[in-house]
Amino acid sequence: MSSIYDSFSQALSLIFHLDAELLGIIFLSMKVSCIGLLVAVVLGLPLGVFLGIKKFRLKGILITVLNTFMGLPPVVVGLFLYLLLSRSGPLGFLSLLYTSTAMVVAQSILAFPIVAALTHSAVIGVDPVIGQASSTLGATRLQVSLAVIREARFGIVSGIVAAFGRVVAEVGAILIVGGNIAGYTRVMTTAIALETDKGNFELAVALGIILIAISLLINSVLHIVQKKGMVGVS
């Protein structure tokens, strides 16, 4: 087996000579992760706010379930989704198995509880006076919600960052529903698993470095957004 040093030096040369296939894999990775995250935010953020503001029965149970689902094992999600999307499963007519859309669905399912639960935590951390004050000042329900989201935005962004970390590192679920098909559903993490399997450690290490670099970049951007937001607090 090649030494770690060899793998790294060859990996670096691979990174400097990015070929079309590698670029395609990186692009698909980002596409699937970002859309999956977006869907999770669109669904999870309102739910988190709702849970934070409203009082109703069974709320405690719902929150416990959400918190539990934050740790959903990806392979289990992949397995259930596989059984659902399989041609002999209930949603087989959609022909979604082994497509990037199926991978997006898996990512959303994994990211959704994180966004919802962390949004909820952020919202309950907001001073209740904010909500009360805006309603006494005649704000509509939507306006009250927006005011609360504004106050809780740092916590919410942290939740989104955590969810992004989960989807971008995910391999188990997307391997099952995507099938790791070259040129179609092969993303960075599944490519790393495959190349490790094949003994191409240089390529696996190269992909790993790129994956971490991209995560670093995106997190830095989010951090800057958060900081700028802090300055503009009204």
Partner 1 sequence: MFRKAVFCLFLVLCAVVVRPVQGFAATEIICSSTTSTDNSGLFGYILPLFEKKTGIKVKVVALGTGAAIEMGKRGDADVAFVHAKEQELKAVKEGFFVNRHDVMYNDFVIIGPVDDPARIRGMKSASEAFKKIAAAGKFVSRGDKSGTNTKELQLWKMVGIEPKGQAWYIEAGQGMEKTQRVADEKRAYTLTDRGTWLATKDKDRLAMAILVEGDPMLFNQYGVMAVNPARFKGVKYKEAMEFVDWLISKEGQQTIASFKDKNGNQLFFPDAK
Q: How far is the CB of 104 from partner 1 (least distance, A)?
A: 9
Q: How far is the CB of 198 from partner 1 (least distance, A)?
A: 5
Contact 48, 115 (CB under 8 A): yes
Q: What span, in angstroms and rounded, lies between the C-alpha atoms of 33 and 163?
A: 10
Give CA–CA dist 22/206, Å, rounded: 10
Nearest approach in angstroms of CB 39 to partner 1 is 8
Give the x/- contact pattern for partner 1 in 140-179, rule: CB under 8 A: ----------x--x-------------------------x
How far from chain centre, in Å, is Cα 167? Answer: 4
Nearer to partner 1, 32 or 207 (CB): 32
Total residues at interface with partner 1 (CB under 8 A)? 34
What tokens appear for 216 in the block? Answer: 């670093």
Q: Residues 97-136: x/- map of binding to partner 1 (CB under 8 A)?
A: xx--x-----------------------------------
Tell me the closest approach of the beta carbon of residue 179 to partner 1, in angstroms: 4
Using CA atoms, how far apart are residues 119 and 190, in angstroms rounded to an integer?
30
Task: State the angle between helix axes of 100-124 and 74-85 in degrees (0 to 180), rounded to the nearest 10.
Answer: 130
- Per CB under 8 A, does 24 bind partner 1? no
